[in-house]
Amino acid sequence: MNILTTLVFIVAANANANTNANANANANTNANTNANANANANQCQLKAHQIKAQYQLTFAQNQDHHADTHIHPPRTNQSQLTLWRKGNTVAHQYQQTRITEAWYLLANKQIKPTRYFEQHQRGIEYQPGENVHGKTESDWSYRQQLVSNQLLQQLTLASESGQGCQHQQSFKQTTPSGTLTLVWLPQLQLISQFTWQTSQSTETWQLLDVTHDSQQVDAFFDQLNQYQMTDYADIGDDHSDPFLTSMVTLGFVEHGASGFYDDKGNALSGSLSGHQH
């Protein structure tokens, strides 16, 4: 083999070695990228299953124009809602009424509802499949997320931004009834902002704060577990319990509070659940 042939052979061998090295480096980079993506996804999933999310709810009636040309200012009602999650248990805590509604997802996918009354340190348990507030619980996503997967699939995606757990999706839908806009955090399965606007009113849900502190979450559910519980089926059998008598009289057993109240503290019917999301 002459010198020229030897040089060509060496150059070719080096080129092949460099190509293989680059290919291996790219493969390692892709593997690392996929591993990081999977790690981030797993981290977000863990965060989504242990959460405390605080919301400000605002319900505003639009300005009322009468024939007498007087303009009545819009009436605005505000309340707070805290969404709690711990594994297969989710709770909606309404600060104004001091009532918490909770649901537990069983292994057979049935949903067990419970209602807690903070002021009385009492709770009412319902059996899975039992009629509560005029219907049977069947949509876990609606209780866990405040918006159902079915609705999300019907909305039009307008834009996306952010990465990882802060990935945001903006949706919008216009119907004859009104306009719905939603800013959604898919990795955390959380509403960031929700607005339902009609010709008569505007309803807004705004996420204020999110924490994944296990001590806070555990302490909240541990406190609920200390309440004295009564099975819903046994309520009519005990007429000597002042708490149960007052709950039935006020209608709290059959009808859930919306979280919205007028200036006298009376519950209003408007709420996100009214849209069947």
* Bridging pattern class, strands 228-231 and 122-125: parallel
Distance CA 223, CA 229 (A): 13
Q: Enter the DSSP assignment of 160.
A: E
pLDDT, tens only, 69-80: 566 666 888 999
pLDDT, tens only, 37-77: 456 667 887 788 999 999 999 999 887 655 555 666 668 88
- Dihedral angle computed from the Cα positions of residues 203, 56, 136 and 106, in that order, rounded to the nearest 10 degrees: 150
DSSP alpha helices (H): ranges in 3-136?
3-48
Q: Which residues pair with 191 in a beta bridge?
A: 184
Q: Looking at residue 197, what is its pLDDT?
A: 93
For residue 48, give both structure tokens: 């989504």
Question: Mean pLDDT per segment of 10 residues, for the chain of length 277 residues?
Answer: 44 53 54 53 83 95 63 79 96 91 94 91 89 79 91 92 93 92 96 94 95 95 94 74 71 49 41 41
Distance CA 80, CA 93 (A): 8
Distance CA 222, CA 37 (A): 34
- Cβ-based neighbours of 231, under 8 Å, separated by 6 or more: 124, 125, 127
CA distances from 240 to 114, 157, 229, 243, 254 (A): 22, 55, 16, 9, 20
Q: Looking at residue 39, what is its pLDDT?
A: 60
- Tokens 């002021």 belong to which residue? 119
Q: Return the beta strands (E) in the chain as ranges.
A: 50-61, 64-65, 71-72, 76-86, 89-94, 99-105, 111-117, 122-125, 131-132, 135-136, 156-161, 168-175, 178-185, 190-197, 201-211, 228-231
Amino acid at residue number 202: T
